[in-house]
Amino acid sequence: MITILNPDNRLFTLARQGQGPPSALAAIAVVFVMLVLVLIPGQMLARLVVRLFPSGIQSIAEPIVGNVVGFLPIYLGLWAWLRLSSKRPFWSLGLESPGATRHALGGVLIAALMMAVTAGLAIISGATAGKSQMTGLTALGIRLLSLMAYLVQGPGEEVLFRGWLLAVIGARYRPWIGVLVSSLVFSLVHAGSMPMAPLVPLAFLNLFLFGIFAAFYALSEGGLWGICVWHAVWNWAMGDLLGFATDGVPHTGLLISIRATGPDIVTGGAFGPEGGVAATAVFLIAIGIIAMLTRQGRNPEMTSGAG
């Protein structure tokens, strides 16, 4: 068994605090309750907030407000659940203070590298990279606000699927069960927003690989700071920085706007890079590297905590 699946990983140790981890069905139920009773009302509130903005900028404000207002309730809901049911603090989801800055900066660098490789593979296969139409300080300010919003959205998903679901199932049963179940549930939840298209099966596979990669990343660190920042930067760089389509929605990038004019099977076509084999290759390589490094014992923090 590879080292990364050590049952004494810090994430699993934290999950055993308080009342101990619940059953798998209870843990999955918590995820869906958070999404139905917390996230959906949050998105409804976000739409109401957007209407407060002048009509000319509502389309710009909508994704930013949606990420902030729509995902903040996840943090509040998990905090309340942990407090009332599991009797453990919110930081026990893998958000310990020691080493937070170092891991966060590592997440930025790894996300930038992986997105650069994904974009490079797409361009090599025939995607075109045109000059962005968004220029000036206003465009920069909007994109920076968007990054701040992704720093709410991305980590919100990580505390729910990796900090909670992965950790409690892996702690109660076996680590590999936690990895597989959390990745599958993550994929199924996101599949609901996919448009019907020929590349959807590949996009679903990439979502599953995304979940495996995120689980391995969190376990290799023994915490969530790195993957939280990685998730935010990956999403932001894909759409707001480079102008890839995301989940079938076109974007205009701050630096360039990449259009999938090459083979859809590689670039993801109109769905975006997460629907193509370029992303598949990048996630598989990243999973393999993490597994190899932790197997060789080159990450001493894996079982000793996030410090």
* Average pLDDT of the chain to the nearest whole number: 87
Tens digit of each residue's pLDDT (9 = 90 or more) over 125-159: 877 766 656 656 777 888 899 999 999 999 999 99
Cα separations (Å) of 81 from 64, 91, 93, 152? 27, 13, 12, 19
**294, 143 contact by CB (below 8 A):** no
Enumerate long-range contacts of 43-48, CB under 8 Å, 24 or more apart: 43/69, 43/70, 45/69, 45/70, 46/70
Q: Which helix (H) or strand (E) holds 184?
A: helix 175-191
* Model pLDDT for residues 96-127, shown as the tens digit of each residue: 999 999 999 999 999 999 999 998 998 888 77
Name, in order, each residue with C-beta under 8 angstroms of 58's C-beta and a sequence gap of 6 or more.
Answer: 50, 51
Higher pLDDT, 301 or 236: 236
Q: Determine which helix (DSSP H) or strand (DSSP E) holds 259, and give its type and residue range.
A: strand 256-259
Q: Are 91 and 61 in contact (CB under 8 A)?
A: no
Contact assessment for residue 218 and residue 166, using Cβ atoms and an 8 Å cutoff:
yes
**What's the mean pLDDT in 294-302?**
56
pLDDT of residue 18: 85
Q: Which helix (H) or strand (E) holds 267?
A: helix 264-267
Least Cα distance to 227 among 169, 285, 158 occurs for: 158
Residue-wise burial string across 194-211, b where 16 or more C-beta atoms lie within 10 A, e elsewhere: beebebeebbbbbbbbbb
**Closest to 31 measured CA to CA, from 193, 187, 148, 229:** 187
Q: What does the pLDDT read at residue 207?
A: 93
